[in-house]
Chains A and B, each alone.
Chain A
Amino acid sequence: MSNLKCLWLAGAFALTAGAASAQDTIKLGVLHSLSGTMAISETTLKDTMLMLIAEQNAKGGLLGKQLEAVVVDPASDWPLFAEKARELLTVSNVDVMFGCWTSVSRKSVLPVIEELNGLLFYPVQYEGEESSRNVFYTGAAPNQQAIPATDYFLDELGVEKFALLGTDYVYPRTTNNILKAYLMGKGIPEADIFVNYTPFGHSDWSKIVSDVKALGADGKKVGVISTINGDANIGFYKELAAAGISADDIPVVAFSVGEEELSGLDTSNLVGHLAAWNYFQSAEGEANAEFIAKWKAFAGESRVTNDPMEAHVIGFNMWVKAVEAAGTTDVDAVRTAMYGIEVPNLTGGVAKMLPNHHLTKPVLIGEIRADGQFDIISQTDPVPGDAWTDFLPESAVLESDWAALDCGMYNTQTKTCVQVKSNY
């Protein structure tokens, strides 16, 4: 027993000693899972951050100091995210954190960073309905991904009947709720919206695919909006291909399928199906070509780039600009300096940080190519991210404005701030 105790104490000493030294650097916490189920997606983001930090240091650092990355591994374990965030803020004393992927991990971290007034850049497309004082959302809100993709279905493909297929968790649930309200507002009757939820990693898709096929029985054009997550997509697309459903018959637009997911299957049968993101590796432009080249040099020739990576690039560049503008890394000063900051995004155009902590981003729709990349067939003007959707009655009255109102959940009807802390 006592030996064990010594071990713990030694650990504790080591931790505090580590914090005391190295005051002459600016510390950035990187809070991405390096093991467990989410490691595949998040490790790439950790590498992106390390690359960006190294690059900034090569440019001479920030405010005359070098940047130092503090990398921790929350191991895809949601409670551990909160624990590691607390450790980063109180033990390692980081000035800013870049991290999280799933909504659950973000919701786990929220109370900690709001309590300790930390700063988090969250790089993944998400379901919205949130705006925390301490989080900058550099991924897409639903109106920057789901709504434009649905418009594309309605206007360009003439889809009249919708199958909303998703993995059973919060992002698909909320997104589908928003889409359902949106579609009904567009005159699509409820009976023409089929919704299905499957577990994570689902593999037996035959019944669902034949259900979708049967939707065509009333002569309306059917389209699938997929929020199916991760490797469950592989079985789904394989079954689609086997059933001989081509993109011209029943188009599928996916919100969680990117370059990485496609590398797990043979895409020759999937040509023409769609994905909506704010970034594709195949985007043409100098900024993107330069970034891809740097990434391949840093991480390896076979690596692909994807949307959340771009979000981290934008987030990091914005934070650097804001720190330079504020002249300090103090969270409140940086936060105030963030609003209105503009940095170029990789697909051309500029991203601007809005007072609701979301970005303006262009929405890109890509068709799957046989080589696993995407042909960009539609690109919108930058769309400002909306924290609270306009298509659900409870959220339509809410607004987030941290600059003027200092509130992330402001009820425009009663003209009151519902709550300053966020909803977790």
Chain B
Amino acid sequence: MTRTFLSRNPSVLWFLLALALFTLAITLMSEAYGSALVSTSFVKTLGKTLCLCLVALAMDLVWGYAGILSLGHMAFFALGGYMIGMWLMYARTEGIVVAALANEVLPATAEEIRQGIASQIFGVVGASELPPIWAFAHSLPLQLMLVVAVPGVLALVFGWLAFRSRVTGVYLSILTQAMTLAAALYLFQNDSGLRGNNGLSGLQNLPGLDQIPQADLSIWFFWASAAALALVYVGLAWIVSGKFGSVIRAIRDDEQRVRFLGYSVEGYKLFVFTLTAVIAAIAGALYYPQAGIINPAELAPIASIYLAVWVAIGGRGRLYGAVIGAAFVSLLSSWFTGGRAPSVNLGVYTVNWVDWWQILLGLSFVLVTLFAPKGIGGLFDLVQGLRHPNRHGTALGPDDGALMEKEAVE
């Protein structure tokens, strides 16, 4: 224990350095603070990508380190977005309503303002009452608290129930998927009080900052996302490098054995599950003001599966792997589906990437799972010569789900 945290984890330094350089470079090329080489919409894309990297970190902790394949973390991500979105919508609408009512002869009553806000926000979906869940929407601090509290409590309750009854492995995955589906279906209902399928929109317009151009706002959010990513990265690297990290890796490899050693497996799992849900929610709260709109389609079960796929492709069980996976796949995805990838003419058939990208992506999951379980991150082992001896492993634990020796990274 003589060496410092950073010297034991040189990858953290490298990561921070790369992230700082990247942020600086983009800032210098942005429309707001630099040479305008990079358009505002691209800055937004990059900012959103950083948020996706952040949620991928959470996924890596819960799956790559603790072995819980949660197919519900994008639900926490979206819930975080919804919570911040409520304040953004409320505050922006309040400004409009107060300005409109100021034109009237009599000063507006509090009731009239509330009514005005409600019919502005919910007129679109055919209601005019502010639902009770909007009770805190007028206050930024309260709503920020909810960003953390709502997904956190949901994860805590769900996790407590699930881990308590020893639901593990694929059953847990299916259960978390059902949870996401239930949340999505709930939000799809118009009566849910969050505007149903329309969701919350206009989130890119920050209340009170009407005069500031989006070019500036986009860079600010980009910085915030980068800062959050850096902080969480360092925090998680610190957590997993200590004793806590060893325990959760042990749970991943053989839950029974850890339990027999006297650790409270359920407590550890619950902590990790809740912590990562909160990280996902924070990522979501940073993501959706950049995206501008959130609706229940964001909670679709497939989004969470994609999250797992990013981590798998990037290389699970190592934090930088998750970041690389999320950034690589999501940017590549938007490049291919954006119609900018050149079509390949095979003579008899022209491969149009908009149509074929999904197939390529799907097959690449299969190939990565079969042949490169370490993902892209595995390449770093090759480069650094740190490759672990290829032990033709037996299973590390008695369960079917236990890792094989050769996959165990540390």
The short answer to whether A and B are in direct contact, CB under 8 Å, is: yes
Residues of A within 8 A of B (CB): 1-2, 4-5, 8-9, 11-16, 34-35, 71-73, 75, 77-79, 82-83, 86-87, 90-91, 103-104, 107-108, 110-112, 115, 129, 168-170, 173-174, 176-177, 197, 199-200, 394-395, 411, 414, 416-419, 421, 423-424
Evaluate whether A73 and B338 lie within 8 angstroms (CB atoms) in the complex, with A16-B39, A108-B292, A169-B197 already known.
Answer: yes
Evaluate whether A168 and B196 lie within 8 angstroms (CB atoms) in the complex, with A15-B39, A108-B292, A199-B185 already known.
Answer: yes
A177: contacting residue among B126, B294, B338, CB under 8 A: B126
With a CB–CB cut-off of 8 A, which chain A residues contact B125? 170, 173-174
With a CB–CB cut-off of 8 A, which chain A residues contact B327? 4
B123: contacting residue among A1, A86, A129, CB under 8 A: A129
Q: B39 touching A197 by the CB < 8 A rule?
A: no
Interface residues of B in 106-138 (CB under 8 A from A): 119-120, 123-126, 128
With a CB–CB cut-off of 8 A, which chain A residues contact B340? 11, 14
For the complex, is B232 an interface residue (Cβ under 8 Å from A)?
A: no
Q: A103 touching B291 by the CB < 8 A rule?
A: no
In the bound complex, how far is the Cα of B37 from the Cα of A82, in angstroms?
A: 21
Top 9 closest A-B pairs, CB basis? A169-B197, A79-B291, A177-B126, A416-B103, A86-B41, A82-B292, A108-B293, A424-B202, A1-B18
Evaluate whether A78 and B295 lie within 8 angstroms (CB atoms) in the complex, with A5-B25, A173-B196, A174-B125 already known.
Answer: yes
Evaluate whether A168 and B96 lie within 8 angstroms (CB atoms) in the complex, with A73-B339, A111-B202 already known.
Answer: no
Evaluate whether A197 and B199 lie within 8 angstroms (CB atoms) in the complex, with A5-B22, A90-B41, A419-B96 already known.
Answer: no
With a CB–CB cut-off of 8 A, which chain B residues contact A418? 96, 100
Q: B100 touching A35 by the CB < 8 A rule?
A: no
In the bound complex, how far is the Cα of B198 from the Cα of A421, in angstroms?
A: 18
For the complex, is B328 an interface residue (Cβ under 8 Å from A)?
A: yes
With a CB–CB cut-off of 8 A, which chain B residues contact A75? 337
Q: A394 touching B128 by the CB < 8 A rule?
A: yes
With a CB–CB cut-off of 8 A, which chain B residues contact A414? 103-104
Q: B293 touching A82 by the CB < 8 A rule?
A: yes
With a CB–CB cut-off of 8 A, which chain B residues contact A424? 124, 201-202
Nearest-CB residue, chain A, relative to B332: A7
With a CB–CB cut-off of 8 A, which chain A residues contact B149? none
Given contacts A12-B38, A73-B338, A83-B44, 13 further A-B contacts (CB under 8 A): A1-B22, A5-B25, A73-B339, A78-B199, A79-B293, A91-B41, A103-B198, A104-B199, A107-B198, A107-B201, A115-B214, A174-B125, A418-B96
For the complex, is B46 an interface residue (Cβ under 8 Å from A)?
A: yes
Interface residues of B in 286-345 (CB under 8 A from A): 288, 291-295, 297, 324, 327-328, 331, 335, 337-340
Evaluate whether A170 and B124 lie within 8 angstroms (CB atoms) in the complex, with A8-B331, A34-B339, A35-B354 already known.
Answer: yes
With a CB–CB cut-off of 8 A, which chain B residues contact A395? 123
Evaluate whether A90 and B201 lie within 8 angstroms (CB atoms) in the complex, with A12-B29, A170-B124, A173-B196 already known.
Answer: no
Q: A168 touching B189 by the CB < 8 A rule?
A: yes
Q: List 9 A-B contacts (CB under 8 A).
A: A4-B327, A11-B340, A12-B37, A73-B338, A78-B295, A79-B294, A115-B205, A177-B126, A416-B104
With a CB–CB cut-off of 8 A, which chain A residues contact B120? 423
Nearest-CB residue, chain B, relative to A421: B96
Nearest-CB residue, chain A, relative to B15: A1
Q: A79 touching B292 by the CB < 8 A rule?
A: yes
Q: B196 touching A111 by the CB < 8 A rule?
A: no
For the complex, is B173 an interface residue (Cβ under 8 Å from A)?
A: no
Grouping DSSP codes into helix (H, G, I), strand (E, B) and loop, the B interface class, with mixed when no group exceeds half, is helix
Interface string of B35-51 (1 = CB under 8 A from A): 00111111011100000
Q: A11 touching B335 by the CB < 8 A rule?
A: yes
For the complex, is B273 an interface residue (Cβ under 8 Å from A)?
A: no
For the complex, is B190 an interface residue (Cβ under 8 Å from A)?
A: yes
In the bound complex, how far is the Cα of B337 from the Cα of A177, in angstroms?
A: 38
With a CB–CB cut-off of 8 A, which chain B residues contact A83? 41, 44-45, 291-292
Query: Looking at B25, B196, B327, which has the most chain A CB atoms within 10 Å of its CB?
Result: B196
With a CB–CB cut-off of 8 A, which chain B residues contact A1? 18, 22, 324
For the complex, is B188 an interface residue (Cβ under 8 Å from A)?
A: yes
In the bound complex, how far is the Cα of B354 from the Cα of A177, in angstroms?
A: 39
Nearest-CB residue, chain B, relative to A177: B126
Q: A104 touching B25 by the CB < 8 A rule?
A: no
Evaluate whether A168 and B190 lie within 8 angstroms (CB atoms) in the complex, with A73-B338, A104-B293 already known.
Answer: yes
Nearest-CB residue, chain B, relative to A411: B100
In the bound complex, how far is the Cα of B117 from the Cα of A394, in angstroms?
A: 13
Q: A170 touching B331 by the CB < 8 A rule?
A: no
Evaluate whether A110 and B202 lie within 8 angstroms (CB atoms) in the complex, with A12-B38, A168-B196 already known.
Answer: yes
B292: contacting residue among A13, A16, A111, A417, CB under 8 A: A111
A394: contacting residue among B44, B119, B189, B292, CB under 8 A: B119
Query: Looking at A8, A112, A414, A416, which has the most chain B CB atoms within 10 Å of its CB?
Result: A8
For the complex, is B168 an interface residue (Cβ under 8 Å from A)?
A: no
In the bound complex, how far is the Cα of B40 from the Cα of A19, in angstroms?
A: 14
Q: A12 touching B39 by the CB < 8 A rule?
A: yes
Closest chain B CB from A395 CB (angstroms): 8
